[in-house]
A and B are shown apart, each in its own frame.
Chain A
Amino acid sequence: MDFKLSEREELLRKSIREWAEKEIPPHMEAMEETGDFPVALLKGMGQMGILGVITPPEYGGNGLGHLARVIALEELGRVCPAIPMAIQVHHMCTYALNTWGNEAQKKKYLPPLAAGETLGVVAVTDPSGGSDVAGMQTSAKLEGDKYILNGRKCFITNAHFSDIWVVIARTGEGGKGLSAFLVEKGFPGAKLGRKENKVGLRGANTGELVFTNCEVPKENLIGAEGDGMTIAIRDITECGRPGMASVGLGILNAVLEQAVKFANERVLFGKPISKLQAIQWYIAEIFSDLEIARLLAYRVGWMLDQKMRVDTEAAMAKQFNCEAAARSARKAIEIHGSYGILKEYPVQRLLRDALVAIPAGGTAEIGKLVMARTALTMFG
């Protein structure tokens, strides 16, 4: 078993880190203030190849794959977790299109998504609840050569800054009555709804998409009618959860760096507090969480590159990494003492970011259900 990253992966990490450290920080203050996604960064991320990392070269991407994606998102998250949050959802849009879209759809939509000319979303959650996918009410009815969509999607990452929406809507009864559609923001009847004001991951915009007799050309159905549930669940499992695991991993990197920096700089009792055993325990615990999170996330990326199923592993990585990020951020705040709750210090933002990451891409409890099902079968 070889845990060493290849020369390619190491160089990828280095180049994303250089880009992220220089290009993202000038936008972070505005992101915190407004909650808006920094659209100005999109083109740069397209040029860097971040947006097209799981898009094949024939559709404008580089196809470096899922482990490369995890590393890239980790590095973005180390600097500003809201950026990989937005980008991982953009990846979900490209993944759905590339996996289930037809040739014409891929040729039309994937190259601008990979280049950063358009931003994508995947819209599954209805106001009736995200965990109850089969209970969604947003409907799609075929009328002539168009589907007519009616309903509302909420908690949609990138909503107000996006151009291309993969929307899951009901075309029939039950779980098998769901279908997936490609909706452009300019289609008649497609509107933006509420813009949410979140406590963390500010800059990864969250909002509503509203469909009032929205006209979607028949050829924009992704896959066949009835494929919607499969597309939604597999997209969340194979792209969304590994993406969220990477966001958690990115936060953990930042948390450890901030904790160590402060512990080395802060002098109490005549020495840096990093010399105190109580502080070292915190540091060791955060470090362990970071390393475990990295192993879990990289394993999922590697398995996806081997075309393996990752249902359990992705749920585990997502659930562990985001919760580890939150508990580690709390410990980092403890290390900072009262400074930790001041806005000048990033640890308070990292805690808010981690808390918002926990329910994204499926709650921790839904993830645990997936894991428990596997454990009960495997060891029963």
Chain B
Amino acid sequence: MRLIVCLKPVPDPKHWNKLRLDPETKTLVRAGVPAVINPLDKKALEASLRLREAHGGEVIILSMAPPEAAPVLREALAMGADRAVVLSDRAAAGSDTLATAHILAGAVRKIGDFDLILCGDETIDGGTAQVSAQLAEFLDLPNLMHVSDIQAGPPGPLLVRSLIEQGSLLVEIAPPAVLSVAKEINEPRYVTLMNILQAEQKEIAVWSLADLCLSEPCIGLQGSPTQMADLFAPQRTKRAEMLAGEPREMARQLADRLHRLGYC
């Protein structure tokens, strides 16, 4: 199987206290905050590695990221991916999910034949959960989200379990397809010291947008219908109110208040 894993470097949650919001540019200031593989993307990578181990093939990492993201991609290679393609281009700056998906679709076309594209359901920074569906749309492929299990028995369709609120769906999908995985799918493997050594021999190809032959109005700020109107940290306030009376009376007061606040 040929598997492409979309992977985004995101700010390490352990260092989120160092993140700042720039009120002028309305962007997240990431300087000084180390990047990690988006946790659900790591699970997508783990799922793809397990498919390769069962059926053979190749796992290719695809990421739109600045050159500083190289250590994150190296970690993905150390987990076991065969090679990585990173799209680094200033023209991609400001891309919203639609423009990002457009760029990723261009890169996928350039990579060529594949069986599956795997993504995480969402990232821990943007959290829009839109890119996999948009990517599938641009590539005219079936798309399934919240994937918790992938059974492949090539040749033939894949048996994919997708989580829904009431339970799960078991869906047959004929590859190629775009799947985005839920946190339940697996526990990613550790990177061993031998894997780190082996990853140093693997290729990280850096592509610019010129390599993808995309039309300019579709990329960067220009290709992004979503424009940030404002970005701010919410004011956090704490207020305590003491209820008095008999337990039954206090319970009634509490229920009233919760109802008024819209919680029940």
A interface residues (Cβ-Cβ under 8 A, vs B): 7-8, 10-12, 14-15, 18-19, 47-50, 52-53, 62, 64, 68, 72
Whether the Cβ atoms of B191 and A47 lie closer than 8 Å is no
A53, B192: Cα distance in complex, Å: 11
Can you list 23 A-B contacts with CB-CB less than 8 angstroms, sorted by A residue number?
A8-B196, A8-B200, A10-B71, A11-B75, A11-B191, A11-B196, A11-B199, A15-B75, A15-B78, A18-B190, A48-B190, A48-B192, A48-B193, A49-B192, A49-B193, A49-B194, A50-B193, A53-B193, A62-B193, A62-B197, A64-B196, A64-B197, A72-B193
In the complex formed, the residue of B with least CB distance to A49 is B193
Q: Which residues of B have CB within 8 Å of A48?
A: 190, 192-193
In the complex formed, the residue of A with least CB distance to B77 is A11
A35, B191: Cα distance in complex, Å: 29
Between A12, A18, A72, the greatest number of chain B beta carbons within 10 A of the residue's beta carbon is seen for A12
Q: Which residues of B have CB within 8 Å of A53?
A: 193
Q: Which residues of A have CB within 8 Å of B200?
A: 8
B interface residues (Cβ-Cβ under 8 A, vs A): 70-71, 74-75, 78, 190-194, 196-197, 199-200
Q: Which residues of B have CB within 8 Å of A62?
A: 193-194, 197
Whether the Cβ atoms of B71 and A7 lie closer than 8 Å is yes
Q: Which residues of A have CB within 8 Å of B194?
A: 49, 62
Closest 4 pairs between A and B when the two form their complex, measured CB to CB: A49-B193, A15-B191, A62-B193, A62-B194
Given contacts A11-B74, A11-B191, 4 further A-B contacts (CB under 8 A): A8-B197, A11-B75, A18-B191, A48-B192
A15, B70: Cα distance in complex, Å: 16
Whether the Cβ atoms of A11 and B78 lie closer than 8 Å is yes
Is chain B's binding surface mostly helix, strand, loop or mixed? helix
| Contact A47-B71, Cβ < 8 Å, known A8-B200, A15-B78, A64-B197 | no
A12, B195: Cα distance in complex, Å: 10
Q: Which residues of B have CB within 8 Å of A12?
A: 193, 196
Q: Which residues of B have CB within 8 Å of A7?
A: 70-71, 74
Whether the Cβ atoms of A15 and B71 lie closer than 8 Å is no
Q: Which residues of A have CB within 8 Å of B191?
A: 11, 14-15, 18
A147, B254: Cα distance in complex, Å: 82
In the complex formed, the residue of B with least CB distance to A11 is B196
Whether the Cβ atoms of A15 and B190 lie closer than 8 Å is yes
Between B71, B74, B194, B196, the greatest number of chain A beta carbons within 10 A of the residue's beta carbon is seen for B196
In the complex formed, the residue of A with least CB distance to B79 is A15
Min distance, Cβ A328 to any Cβ of chain B, angstroms: 22
A368, B196: Cα distance in complex, Å: 38
Min distance, Cβ B202 to any Cβ of chain A, angstroms: 13
In the complex formed, the residue of A with least CB distance to B200 is A8
| Contact A64-B71, Cβ < 8 Å, known A8-B200, A15-B78 | no
Min distance, Cβ B4 to any Cβ of chain A, angstroms: 23
Min distance, Cβ B47 to any Cβ of chain A, angstroms: 19
Whether the Cβ atoms of A64 and B193 lie closer than 8 Å is yes
Whether the Cβ atoms of B190 and A19 lie closer than 8 Å is yes
Whether the Cβ atoms of A47 and B70 lie closer than 8 Å is no
Min distance, Cβ B193 to any Cβ of chain A, angstroms: 3
A11, B71: Cα distance in complex, Å: 8
Q: Which residues of B have CB within 8 Å of A19?
A: 190
In the complex formed, the residue of A with least CB distance to B78 is A11
Q: Which residues of A have CB within 8 Å of B74?
A: 7, 11
Between B78, B190, B192, B193, the greatest number of chain A beta carbons within 10 A of the residue's beta carbon is seen for B193
Between A10, A15, A53, A64, the greatest number of chain B beta carbons within 10 A of the residue's beta carbon is seen for A15
Q: Which residues of B have CB within 8 Å of A72?
A: 193
Q: Which residues of B have CB within 8 Å of A15?
A: 75, 78, 190-193, 196
A15, B193: Cα distance in complex, Å: 8
Q: Which residues of A have CB within 8 Å of B70?
A: 7
Min distance, Cβ A297 to any Cβ of chain B, angstroms: 18
Q: Which residues of B have CB within 8 Å of A50?
A: 193
A14, B36: Cα distance in complex, Å: 10
Q: Which residues of A have CB within 8 Å of B197?
A: 8, 62, 64
Whether the Cβ atoms of A14 and B75 lie closer than 8 Å is yes
Whether the Cβ atoms of A47 and B192 lie closer than 8 Å is yes
A51, B74: Cα distance in complex, Å: 23
Min distance, Cβ B78 to any Cβ of chain A, angstroms: 6
A138, B189: Cα distance in complex, Å: 46
Min distance, Cβ A339 to any Cβ of chain B, angstroms: 23
A12, B192: Cα distance in complex, Å: 8
Q: Which residues of A have CB within 8 Å of B199?
A: 11
A49, B198: Cα distance in complex, Å: 13
In the complex formed, the residue of B with least CB distance to A48 is B192
In the complex formed, the residue of A with least CB distance to B197 is A62
A37, B190: Cα distance in complex, Å: 22
Min distance, Cβ A74 to any Cβ of chain B, angstroms: 14
Min distance, Cβ A91 to any Cβ of chain B, angstroms: 13
In the complex formed, the residue of B with least CB distance to A18 is B190
A35, B27: Cα distance in complex, Å: 52
Min distance, Cβ B66 to any Cβ of chain A, angstroms: 16
A7, B73: Cα distance in complex, Å: 11
Q: Which residues of A have CB within 8 Å of B75?
A: 11, 14-15
Min distance, Cβ A7 to any Cβ of chain B, angstroms: 5
Min distance, Cβ A67 to any Cβ of chain B, angstroms: 13
Min distance, Cβ B37 to any Cβ of chain A, angstroms: 11
In the complex formed, the residue of B with least CB distance to A50 is B193
A49, B197: Cα distance in complex, Å: 11
Min distance, Cβ A79 to any Cβ of chain B, angstroms: 14
A290, B114: Cα distance in complex, Å: 50
Min distance, Cβ B190 to any Cβ of chain A, angstroms: 5
Q: Which residues of A have CB within 8 Å of B192?
A: 15, 47-49
